[in-house]
Amino acid sequence: MISGQTQKLSEVAKVAREWRHGTPLRDIQRSAPFTELTYLAEAAEQGPAHLVSVQWEWVRQDAEEAPWPEYRVLVEAAYAEPRLRQLFPYVSHWLLRFSTTTGSPFSPDVVCLQVGRDGYVVKASSYGPVLGETAGPEEAVALAARHLPTGIGPAVTGAYGK
């Protein structure tokens, strides 16, 4: 959410102390000009639903710049599914993943979606078993939604296990 570089360890300690005491990130940035806020920083302070929404905007924009249209339509199909849209989306190696938490480390995958050789692949996790392959992105998303845990709710603030 916030990063920066300085030669003074005391400045790093000051930033860490402010963060630990709940100082808003924008205020930390003002008091430590060497820091920079990420695109998610202010969204995180507005709650998990807003953070998920901002992350979806980024994932969708990133998909627009992807080198192949099959990936773009997969992201849009996933966004159109309300049960997936409530989760925190993130991408690793063009694998669309979903977390029940908004911070790193993210929760274990609930499902993953990717473009395959002849269509779309739904996996249980990034290295997990294939749940199915489909010809179209909407079918892949429907399959993924059917494999979501019962009662899964919106993503919550924080990192998994903390």
Strand order in the sheet with 120-123: 88-92, 95-99, 112-115, 120-123, 130-134
Q: What is the pLDDT of residue 19?
A: 84
Q: What is the pLDDT of residue 162?
A: 61
Q: Which positions of the chain have pLDDT values less than 70?
A: 41, 161-162
Q: What is the pLDDT of residue 158?
A: 79
Rounded Cα gap, residues 156 and 148, in angstroms: 16
Q: What is the pLDDT of residue 122?
A: 98
Q: How many Cβ atoms from other residues are within 10 Å of residue 7's Cβ?
A: 7
- List the helix and strand counts (H, then E) for the chain: 7, 9
What are the φ/ψ torsions at residue 32 (nearest 5 degrees)?
-135, 85
Mean pLDDT of the chain: 91
Q: pTM for the full model? A: 0.81
Q: What is the pLDDT of residue 160?
A: 72
Q: What is the pLDDT of residue 135?
A: 97
Q: What is the pLDDT of residue 23?
A: 87
Q: What is the pLDDT of residue 133?
A: 97
Q: What is the pLDDT of residue 26?
A: 83
Q: What is the pLDDT of residue 98?
A: 96
